[in-house]
Structure 1
Amino acid sequence: MNLILWLLFGALVGWLASIVMRTDGQQGAVLNIVIGIIGAMIGGFLFGGPTINSSSFNLTALLISFVGAVILLAIVNLVRRGSVR
């Protein structure tokens, strides 16, 4: 059950981050999940708080994971295009 929640919250975080960074039309559901989960790892590393990867599903965990996903998409955009949107 925890795996299903992890995937759902990863998809939600990745989707919201892709909307903010305007890359939503370029990626599908699987890439949103990957962005959400890797972004949560980055957010946890940078801010040291709970993330969706640590089985702590609360607002703080979602916010830290979201910020990490936005940072990840900004880095990807910087590498791909040479500029952050």
Structure 2
Amino acid sequence: MGLGIIGWIVIGIVAGWLAEKVMGRSHGIVTNLIVGVIGALLGGFIASNLLGLAVGGFNLMTLLVAFAGACLLLFVLSLVKRRA
């Protein structure tokens, strides 16, 4: 079962919020949603293409992949911000 738009929003907000807490950032709900959804795309790409994992649906694995992608996104953005 795939995720609908509401599912992506929920996963995105939760993943973005968790990444924000782990990475020591402070954002609003909209930024958490954006970071979480982009992180889900990034994490899904890495999980499926580089690790060979099948990720999808509304489950814990999807949340973990989105969370890992969101953390990676925040880490890369902090590196870019330091260099600028």
| TM-score of the pair, normalised by structure 2 | 0.82
Deviations 1:12-67 (A, max 9, x none): 100000111111x2x211010000000001001111131xxx5x111111111111
Amino acid at match of 2:8: W
Matching of residues 1-16 of structure 1 within 5 Å:
2-16=4-18
Q: Residue 18 of structure 1: SS of its match in structure 2? A: helix
In structure 2, list runs of 5 or more residues that go unmatched: 49-53
Which one has more relative contact order, counting CA pairs under 8 Å at least 6 apart?
Answer: 2
Indicate whether 1:65 and 2:66 are aligned.
Answer: yes
Residue equivalent to 1:41: 41
Percent of pairs identical after alignment? 43
| Number of residues of Structure 1 aligned to a counterpart in Structure 2 | 76
Corresponding position of 1:31: 31
Mark the runs of 5 or more structure 1 residues left unpaired by the alignment: none
Question: Alignment partner of 1:75: what SS?
Answer: helix
Please tell me the root mean square deviation across aligned C-alpha atoms, in Å. 1.6
TM-score by length of 1: 0.81
| C-alpha contact 2:11 2:66 (8 A) present in aligned 1 | no
